Chain A
Amino acid sequence: MGIDIEALEREVFPRTVTVAGVEILDTLLMTWLVMLLLGVGLWLATRRLEMLPSRPQAMVELIVEWIMKQISDVTGASPERFLTLIGSIALFIAVSMLLPLIPKLKAPTVDPNTTAALATVVFFSVPYYGIRENGAKAYFKQYLKPVFFMLPLNILGELSRTLSLAIRLFANCLSGGFIAAVTFFLLGIAAPVAVQIFGAFTGLIQAYVFMLLSLVYIAAAVRPSRDEETT
């Protein structure tokens, strides 16, 4: 009663498949699928916006309002400025984590490249929002606080928190898929149902955590201008 390692590695890790004669990484295909689902689904749901919303529109409004509430709670600013970035991140990761529930599909975030791309986006968006809000001088002066020789430590801290953002998402997703695959190979078809559901649940929590952490990093870069305001 062993585990077929080859099949395990085929199911869990990213690998190159041949689609219509083109060799492509299957997690890349999954990323495109998530983009398609999100783009087409949300466009269809919000095509005709009415005052008395239909059910898809109401669901989308619920999600958007929840994200806006999170943004305004953490940053204390108007949520529209960060809504595009934070909303896209949250929705993309949430849908990616729910994708393994459909058979034969794997989450695009089992590929460390996907999570590294997301973390890089957050890494570059922190100075972008910081400079846009407070100007370049005030933003870069932040690195010299609290004492000026903390500069290398601040830079190192920023790089390491980006790295931890990427690794956290990747390792959570990979271990979830792994445990589901192993229980499938050991126990047949019924056991992985509970494991998959648990994996999807923790995946949604990780999506929330990723969104929250990127919000906190952006808010920390934006906040110095708000010291005089009473929030």
Chain B
Amino acid sequence: MDKVTLFAVITMIVSGLTIAIGSVGPSLGEGKAVVAALESIARQPEASGKISRTLFIGLAMVETCAIYCLLISLILLFGNPLNKLVLPE
């Protein structure tokens, strides 16, 4: 396997794994956050505005990690700066 093929294979594997592993944690965390928010809304419906606002802020914070992973994956596929090291131009 020559250098270019090896580089391409590793890039593909890593970009797939990045988003696959990187979305497990945030999804679980967001699910738990939504469960807690729903329970507290059920307990106190009049505070639902404040609760949903705080929920959105918390979800945004958690989702940022998944977004970073997606961004890395897309960069690896489409804007890989190491391309010019490996590919003969």
Which residues of the other chain, A, contact B64 by a CB distance below 8 angstroms? 164, 167-168
**Chain B 48-66 interface mask (CB, 8 Å, partner A; 1/0):** 0110010011011001100
Q: Is the CB of A174 within 8 A of B74?
A: yes
**Given the contacts A167-B64, A171-B67, A209 and B50 also touching, CB distance less than 8 Å:** no
Which residues of the other chain, A, contact B78 by a CB distance below 8 angstroms? 9, 13
Q: Give A70's nearest chain B residue, CB to CB.
A: B53
Q: Measured between C-beta atoms, what is the minimum distance from A206 to chain B in Å?
A: 8
Q: Measured between C-beta atoms, what is the minimum distance from B65 to chain A in Å?
A: 10
- B10 within 8 Å of A (CB atoms): no
Q: Is the CB of B50 within 8 A of A73?
A: yes
Which residues of the other chain, B, contact A99 by a CB distance below 8 angstroms? none
Within 8 Å by CB of A213, from B57, B67, B74, lies B57
**Chain B 64-79 interface mask (CB, 8 Å, partner A; 1/0):** 1001101100100010
Q: Measured between C-beta atoms, what is the minimum distance from A191 to chain B in Å?
A: 20
- A184 within 8 Å of B (CB atoms): no
- A205 within 8 Å of B (CB atoms): yes
Q: How far is the CA of A13 from the CA of B74 in the complex (A)?
A: 12
What is the interface size of chain B, counting residues whose CB is below 8 A from a CB of the partner? Answer: 15
Q: Is the CB of A175 within 8 A of B74?
A: yes
Q: Is the CB of A212 within 8 A of B67?
A: no
Q: How far is the CA of A140 from the CA of B83 in the complex (A)?
A: 45
- A92 within 8 Å of B (CB atoms): no
Q: Measured between C-beta atoms, what is the minimum distance from B72 to chain A in Å?
A: 10
Q: How far is the CA of A216 from the CA of B74 in the complex (A)?
A: 30
**Given the contacts A9-B78, A209-B56, A209-B60, A171 and B50 also touching, CB distance less than 8 Å:** no
Q: How far is the CA of A213 from the CA of B67 in the complex (A)?
A: 17
Q: Is the CB of A167 within 8 A of B56?
A: no
Q: How far is the CA of A126 from the CA of B8 in the complex (A)?
A: 44
Q: Is the CB of B68 within 8 A of A209?
A: no
Which residues of the other chain, B, contact A164 by a CB distance below 8 angstroms? 64
Q: Measured between C-beta atoms, what is the minimum distance from B79 to chain A in Å?
A: 8
Q: Is the CB of A175 within 8 A of B70?
A: yes
Q: Is the CB of B60 within 8 A of A168?
A: yes
Highest count of chain B CB atoms <10 Å: which of A13, A175, A178: A175
- A74 within 8 Å of B (CB atoms): yes
Q: Give B57's nearest chain A residue, CB to CB.
A: A212
Provide 9 A-B residue pairs closer than 8 Å at the C-beta atoms, listed in order of the A residue: A13-B78, A70-B53, A167-B68, A168-B67, A172-B67, A174-B71, A174-B74, A212-B56, A213-B57
Residues of B at under 8 Å CB distance from A?
49-50, 53, 56-57, 59-60, 63-64, 67-68, 70-71, 74, 78
Shortest Cβ-Cβ A-B pairs, 3 listed: A209-B60, A171-B67, A171-B71
